[in-house]
Amino acid sequence: MIQVLVVDDSPVVREFLVHILGSDPHIEVIGTATNGEYAVEATQRLHPDVITMDIHMPGMDGIEATRRIMETCPTPIVVVSGSSDPREVATTFRAMEAGALAVLRRPAGMGHPDHEATALDLVQMVKAMSEVKVVRRWPPRSGNAAVAPAVEARMERSPARVRVIAIGASTGGPPVLQGMLAELPKDVPVPILIVQHMAAGFTLGFVQWLAQSSSLPVHLAMHGEHIRPGHVYVAPDEFHMRIERGDTAVLRKDEPEHGMRPSVSYLFRSLRETYGGDVVAGLLTGMGRDGADELRLLKDKGALTFVQDKDSCVVHGMPGEAIRLDAATLVLTPQKIAAMLAHLANNGK
């Protein structure tokens, strides 16, 4: 049984979430909490496998509660949000800075046509997060990391002309991406493309959150737009992103790949077709294997490829699969990845 603590200040919402989770035979709700203080105390007392966390609560909010729980009794936390305002959603991502693993829209109410699907999303998310036994966090940045000589030596075999940087991420990815983008100079000479797996409805808020700490303009990719150097483009909800001739972003609703839309594999495959090996591409923390095969194909074309190292990953699924396939030129911490990308930018690669 997966033991869950439900945290929400609304009695109606608590009862609703308890009902949904308790309806699954593999989940047991072992407690509820009405604010952050009670959530911290209940976590230390009950040791749940997963916590569902509200953000806006009286007294201690969900962000501070997440921070304290991760400091004292690390537990997988899923933020369950009832807000659709992108500005409030951007605030929700502060809980991921504090250590939450994922954000999810609150399931639609009984009788709503989306109720069953969104309730299933919550159940599946809780089950997936219960498998994350060790919650790791990228520690706060302490200045720019240097590129190690061994890394520089391997970078010398990178493409003579880099035309694009592409990054795929899933569980645990948002704070890593935030930290990396914050370290990059504003004059990066190529576009940066990102596919981040997350629940529908949060990508615009994710983009706004990233933009708050980055000197680079961060955009939700738009169909038919010309991607520009020094700009960051994030694949939108429910659309695959590919880049075609003329540096043009194309969004399509083709079938999901590896259960994902947008898919990292879909983007990487298009980059190989459009740019050959003139690419720097990598995979960050995340479940599954999306992007791993295509990263190997990019490497075989001469691209510089990288993955996040196991010790800094929340989940080493995607990077681990890439390493198994010998798809990674470099295996690096997030700080070293940021330093590498900054080095490429500063040297005009």
Q: Which tokens belong to 211?
A: 């933009």
How many whole angstroms separate alpha carbon 35 and alpha carbon 274? Answer: 51
Choosing from 158, 170, 270, 312, which is the catalytic residue? 170
Q: In what order do the strands lie in the sheet with 77-81?
A: 27-33, 2-7, 50-53, 77-81, 102-105
Choosing from 270, 290, 309, 312, which is the catalytic residue? 290
| Best CA proximity match to 16, nearest among 77, 60, 82 | 82
| Helix boundaries (H) for 229-291 | 264-275
Active site residue 61: no
How many whole angstroms separate alpha carbon 212 and alpha carbon 290? Answer: 28
HSE-up (13 A, CA, CB side) for residue 169:
25
Q: Is the dihedral of CA 175, 179, 206, 165 positive or negative?
A: negative
Active site residue 290: yes
Q: What is the DSSP letter of 146?
A: P
How many whole angstroms separate alpha carbon 191 and alpha carbon 287? Answer: 26
Q: For residue 67, which amino acid is it?
A: R
Choosing from 197, 219, 240, 316, which is the catalytic residue? 197
The answer to whether 75 touches 51, Cβ cutoff 8 Å, is yes
Q: Where are the beta strands (DSSP E) in 39-188?
A: 50-53, 77-81, 102-105, 164-169
Active site residue 247: no
> Residue 79 phi/psi, 5° resolution?
-80, 125
Direct distance between the N- and C-terminal alpha carbons of the chain, in angstroms, rounded to an integer:
52
**Alpha-carbon distances, residue 116 vs 108, 172, 296 (angstroms):** 8, 26, 38
DSSP structure string for 109-125: PTTSTTHHHHHHHHHHH
> Measured in whole angstroms, how far is the alpha carbon of residue 3 from the centre of its chain?
25
Known catalytic residues are 170, 197, 290
